[in-house]
């Protein structure tokens, strides 16, 4: 498809829903309520939803529900549709692929799309060293495989993760995730040889700088695990579910240097931060951190399920032939979508667009913070932004306020998510196809929600 020159490069395609917030029923509307009843009767109760509103179409910065309400999307399906929902290049590539063939299994009769995605990831991820990539289906599956690869390479078993970490919901990644409710509660026993170290959390660290916070973690790791027992350190360069925590400058480079000195594999979990989200292709780039292995998923393929582990050839090639894989890993539809999503990020300048979103949103939220002492901090990079809500007197986390503000925004047609170990963080993850006008409207709604909560 040829895209005509357009002053807003990420403008939604013709055929995308009208780019305005429009409520034609109360939320949830009657069709969503009826579907919610069927969901309760048919879907396992453990599968919750943020909003009781069922989607019908989406594009640009809008999700249209089954009652015709147009909602502003500040969630991107949890940082997945970074290039936009039903992004034109993704739609075209998947339509062509689905008509050609849907699956052969790369481990049976391989196909070019998988190799092309591997080549693209080897090119785009930080570091000029020789790399290899393996593809999987979900973020958790890729994290598990990064651990398998690090263990095969080092011959050691220990895995270090951090406070507030989120790495998934499988057994090993539940062990790696910090927060009990809802991710782990009642689901143990968990995988062994997983050790937790303290993070750098500038808002709550009492002035500890990045290098000091890293030394605190390293001291604990050396005492409680020992480098000689350690296969890998796995860290989100900006923590996602844990509260959009940006570690103090110097934390990641100091940890990396210690890993290098001790032959410990440094694994960056960029499942949420990757693919232009933070105003760089990968969040590690903000501090010139070159991880040994980088795990990607979410924003990789415009909404199709795909994940990857990319890293140093000598580490990636340590697993024996046949040791890695899976029936669907690197499915041809997902690979076609990933190539189209990557082309969209590069051709439409979405890394720069994420920085524009950052400037617009942080200016508005900064003003709001001046007026509202319950906003303890505005933080994040690029279009991965959050406010941490606190009791102004004590600084204690205020989860009830986060819930109230998110609920008020939802009722006014703005999809916004919460996060944080203490549930007191509102996070904004708009698709990079959203317009400035929609961002301003959504921020107006959030402001009113704060005023009313
Ligand atoms: C979402 C997420 C995962 C898990 O990805 P799934 O595709 O849900 O398995 C892992 N790590 C991080 C940082 C995430 O944000």
pLDDT digits (tens, 9 = 90+) for 179-235: 999 999 999 999 999 999 999 999 999 889 999 999 999 999 999 999 999 999 999
Q: Does the CB atom of residue 297 touch ligand 1 within 6 A? A: yes
Q: Does the CB atom of residue 29 touch ligand 1 within 6 A? A: no
**Which residue is closest in CA terms to ligand 1's atom 8?**
139
- Coil vs helix vs strand at 121: helix
Q: Does the CB atom of residue 113 touch ligand 1 within 6 A? A: no
Mutate to test the pocket of ligand 1, among 271, 277, 303, 421 (most ligand atoms within 8 A of CB): 271
Q: Does the CB atom of residue 140 touch ligand 1 within 6 A? A: yes
What atom of ligand 1 comes closest to residue 269's alpha carbon?
13
Q: Which positions of the chain have pLDDT values less than 50? A: 1-10
Residue 3 has a pLDDT of 42
| CA–CA gap between residue 121 and residue 102 (Å, rounded) | 22
Residue 12 has a pLDDT of 58
Q: Kindly report the number of other CB atoms within 10 A of residue 428's CB atom.
A: 24
Q: How far is the CA of 42 from the centre of ligand 1 (A)?
A: 26
Q: Does the CB atom of residue 139 touch ligand 1 within 6 A? A: yes
Q: Does the CB atom of residue 240 touch ligand 1 within 6 A? A: yes
What atom of ligand 1 comes closest to residue 298's alpha carbon?
7
Helices 112-124, 332-347: crossing angle, 10 deg rounding: 40
Q: How far is the CA of 7 from the centre of ligand 1 (A)?
A: 34
Two tokens at 172? 């090993």
What atom of ligand 1 comes closest to residue 78's alpha carbon?
1
Q: Does the CB atom of residue 143 touch ligand 1 within 6 A? A: yes
Starting at the earlier edge strand, list the strands of the sheet with 70-73.
55-59, 62-65, 70-73, 414-415
Residue 206 has a pLDDT of 87
Q: Kindly report the number of other CB atoms within 10 A of residue 233's CB atom.
A: 29
Mutate to test the pocket of ligand 1, among 175, 298, 326, 380 (most ligand atoms within 8 A of CB): 298
Q: Does the CB atom of residue 239 touch ligand 1 within 6 A? A: no
Q: Does the CB atom of residue 236 touch ligand 1 within 6 A? A: yes
**Which residue is closest in CA terms to ligand 1's atom 15?**
272
- Coil vs helix vs strand at 208: coil
What atom of ligand 1 comes closest to residue 270's alpha carbon?
13
Mutate to test the pocket of ligand 1, among 140, 268, 334 (most ligand atoms within 8 A of CB): 140
Mutate to test the pocket of ligand 1, among 48, 166, 275, 328 (most ligand atoms within 8 A of CB): 166
Architecture of the domain spanning 90-347 = 3-Layer(aba) Sandwich (3.40)
Tokens 């929609």 belong to which residue?
438
The predicted model scores a pTM of: 0.96
Residue 11 has a pLDDT of 54
Q: Does the CB atom of residue 358 touch ligand 1 within 6 A? A: no
Q: How far is the CA of 44 from the centre of ligand 1 (A)?
A: 21
Q: How far is the CA of 435 from the centre of ligand 1 (A)?
A: 27
Two tokens at 205? 């660290």
Q: Does the CB atom of residue 144 touch ligand 1 within 6 A? A: no
Strand partners, 397: 390
What atom of ligand 1 comes closest to residue 168's alpha carbon?
4
What atom of ligand 1 comes closest to residue 239's alpha carbon?
13
| CA–CA gap between residue 146 and residue 271 (Å, rounded) | 12
Cα-based angle 248, 253, 254 (whole degrees, multiple of 5): 85
Residue 117: phi and psi, rounded to 5, are -65, -40
Q: Considering just the CA atoms, what is the radius of gyration of the chain in Å? A: 22
Q: What ranges make up the beta strands (E) of 99-162? A: 131-136, 158-162
| CA–CA gap between residue 68 and residue 57 (Å, rounded) | 10
| CA–CA gap between residue 57 and residue 407 (Å, rounded) | 22
What atom of ligand 1 comes closest to residue 170's alpha carbon?
9
CB 170 within 8 A of CB 140: yes
Q: Kindly report the number of other CB atoms within 10 A of residue 71's CB atom.
A: 27
Residue 207 has a pLDDT of 87
Provide the residue ranges of all domains of the chain, joining segments of one domain with +. Answer: 30-83+349-452, 90-347
Q: Does the CB atom of residue 435 touch ligand 1 within 6 A? A: no
User: Residue 288 burial (CB < 10 Å; 0-12/13-18/19+)?
Assistant: exposed
Q: Does domain 30-83+349-452 have CATH number 1.20.1250.20?
A: no
Q: Does the CB atom of residue 299 touch ligand 1 within 6 A? A: no
């Amino acid at each position: 498809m040829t895209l005509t020159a357009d002053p807003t490069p990420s403008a939604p395609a013709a055929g995308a829903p009208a780019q305005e917030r429009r409520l034609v029923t109360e939320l949830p509307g009657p069709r969503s309520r009826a579907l919610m009843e069927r969901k309760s009767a048919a879907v396992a109760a453990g599968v919750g939803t943020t909003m009781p509103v069922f989607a019908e179409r989406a594009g640009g910065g809008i999700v249209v529900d089954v009652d015709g309400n147009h909602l502003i999307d500040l969630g991107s399906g949890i940082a997945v549709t970074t290039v936009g929902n039903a992004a034109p290049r993704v739609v075209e590539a998947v339509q062509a692929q689905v008509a050609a063939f849907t699956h052969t299994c790369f481990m049976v009769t391989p196909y070019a799309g998988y190799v092309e995605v591997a080549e693209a990831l080897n090119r785009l991820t930080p570091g000029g060293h020789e790399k290899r990539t393996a593809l999987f289906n979900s973020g958790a599956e890729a994290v598990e495989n990064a651990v398998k690869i690090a263990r095969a390479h080092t011959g050691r078993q220990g895995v270090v993760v951090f406070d507030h970490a989120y790495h998934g919901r499988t057994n090993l990644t539940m062990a790696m995730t910090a927060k009990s409710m809802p991710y782990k509660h009642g689901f143990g026993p968990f995988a062994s040889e997983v050790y937790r170290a303290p993070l750098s959390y500038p808002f709550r660290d009492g002035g500890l700088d990045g290098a000091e916070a890293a030394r605190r973690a390293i001291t604990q790791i050396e005492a409680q695990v020992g480098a000689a027992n350690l296969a890998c350190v796995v860290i989100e360069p900006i923590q996602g579910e844990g509260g959009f925590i940006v570690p103090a400058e110097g934390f990641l480079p100091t940890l990396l240097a210690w890993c290098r000195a001790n032959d410990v594999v440094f694994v960056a979990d960029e499942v949420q931060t990757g693919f232009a989200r933070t105003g760089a292709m990968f969040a590690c780039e903000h501090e010139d951190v070159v991880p040994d292995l980088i795990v990607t998923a979410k924003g990789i393929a415009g909404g199709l399920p795909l994940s990857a582990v990319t890293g140093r050839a000598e580490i990636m090639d340590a697993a024996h032939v046949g040791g890695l894989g899976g029936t669907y890993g690197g499915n041809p539809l997902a690979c076609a979508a990933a190539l189209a999503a990557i082309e969209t990020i590069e051709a439409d300048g979405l890394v720069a667009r994420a920085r524009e979103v950052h400037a617009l949103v942080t200016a508005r939220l900064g003003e709001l913070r001046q007026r509202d002492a319950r906003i303890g901090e505005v933080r994040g990079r690029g279009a991965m932004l959050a406010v941490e809500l606190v009791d102004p007197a004590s600084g204690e986390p205020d989860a009830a306020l986060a819930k109230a503000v998110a609920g008020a925004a939802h009722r006014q047609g703005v999809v916004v998510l919460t996060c944080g170990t203490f549930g007191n963080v509102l996070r904004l993850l708009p698709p990079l196809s959203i317009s400035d006008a929609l961002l301003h409207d959504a921020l107006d709604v959030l402001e009113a929600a704060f005023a009313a909560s």
